[in-house]
Amino acid sequence: MADFQYQNPDDAIAAAVSRLRPVATETIRITEAGGRVLATDLMLDRDSPACDVSAMDGFAVRIDELTAGSVPVSAEAAAGHAPPTCKAGTAVRIFTGAPVPPECDTVIKREDVHEAEAAITLKDGIAPPRIGSHIRRRGENGLSGHSFLQAGSVLTPAALAGAATCGAAEFSVYRRVRVAIVTTGDELCRIDQQPESWQIRDSNGFALRGLFQSRPYLDVATPIHAPDKLTELTDLLKRLSSEFDAIFLTGGVSVGDRDFVPKAVKNAGGEIIFHKLPIRPGKPLLTAVQDGTLIAGLPGNPVSVLYTGRRFGVAYLQHLAGFNKPEPVLTTSLLNADEKSLHLHWGRLVQLEPQGARLLESRGSGDVINASQSDGFIEIPAGQSGRGPWKYFSW
């Protein structure tokens, strides 16, 4: 694969994102923050938990008094209320999440004691609890001032729960990455048109918009179509690069006489990072930067658009959005593996099943009908074949 500047997708992605800088930041309320990317660390505003609390329904006691015999119950502790005083020689009935009276050193489970006449005794055969049993200690989850979510973290439902617990009603996030999508090709017509036999409906814009629009950190514009004319395409790139953080073009990136995207990128002032990778589908993929704006030229065949948009485009956009690390690599094994292999890195469409992934029959990078039935694709490295496990990317 000596003809290629980069030998695998990950090296090409690393080269591209090294030329990109995250977008600016803004402050938003927690009600608008789902799926956005933090721009600053979030700190605990107090110890978590803020006091010793019970992990069980039971009784708060002094361990030495419980083992001495029957202990009267003198008070009750419930979540959301200040802890009562536990008088010497007594126990406090306590509920899960309630603060433990400071005089007590242990919580014993309700099912481990006999209750009679407002007193408790340890059941026969139950080993005496250790000091501190069933108590969640103050600060054991985290101490005040501790950073629990770092800049570049995605505000998942779990992250939002943590933020709310710490009183973070608003915080700084990276603004949404502004994304433009441009389809090219004189053979394309609108989807509401009846195409002539030499035309095809434009599916690529909808594929990319669907791929990106489901990600809350992106602001995806309605796709537009550009004719196969170098001057018009050059002028369009100049205009879009001043309005958007990323531009995705489909079609016109190969080496044909009417493949104008590489020339248009250069004429508009773009610097090409790479053009062509050892991958299938999507070999002619182009990635460039123009005054800080990402330009990605994807091959025009529908399956190539899906593969390169997901494998490369999402990685580029996550970097622009401020992600502090690449997305986790998931793997799956094939249920119907074959022994086919390529000298290229091969993205193969699959459907997921409970036991693994099943290869879909595909008639090439133009077979959008079979692609529409897929859950994503596996990526088989050059020269390899078989069951896997292989990297898996969902749409």
pLDDT along the chain (395 residues), means of 10: 88 98 98 98 97 98 87 97 97 98 97 94 89 98 97 98 96 98 90 84 95 98 96 98 98 90 98 98 98 97 97 99 95 96 96 97 87 97 97 98
Q: Residue 294, SS3? A: strand
Q: How many domains does the chain have?
A: 4
- Asked if residue 169 belongs to a domain, the reply is yes
Q: Given this model, what pLDDT does residue 12 score? A: 98
What's residue 3's pLDDT?
84
Query: Is 102 in the same domain as 126?
Result: yes
Whether 233 and 294 map to the same domain: the answer is yes
Quick one: CA dihedral 189, 192, 193, 194, positive or negative?
positive
| Percent composition of the chain: helix, strand, coil (DSSP 3-state, to 5) | 20, 30, 50
Domain shared by 241 and 224, yes or no: yes
Residues 276 and 183 in one domain: yes
Exposed, middle or buried: residue 54 (CB in 10 Å: 0-12, 13-18, 19+)?
A: buried
CATH code, domain carrying 154? 3.90.105
Answer yes or no: is 71 within a domain. Answer: yes
Residue 94 structural domain? 53-136
So what's the pLDDT on residue 187? 84
Q: Domain check: are 281 and 356 in the same one?
A: no
The CATH code of the domain that includes 300 is: 3.40.980.10
125 and 37 both lie in a single domain: no
| Residues 99 and 162 occupy one common structural domain | no
Residues 195 and 315 in one domain: yes
| 366 closest CA partner among 247, 251, 195 | 251
Same domain, 40 and 62: no
pTM of this prediction? 0.91
pLDDT confidence of residue 210 = 97
- What does the alpha-carbon distance between residue 92 and residue 84 come to, in Å, rounded to a whole number? 8
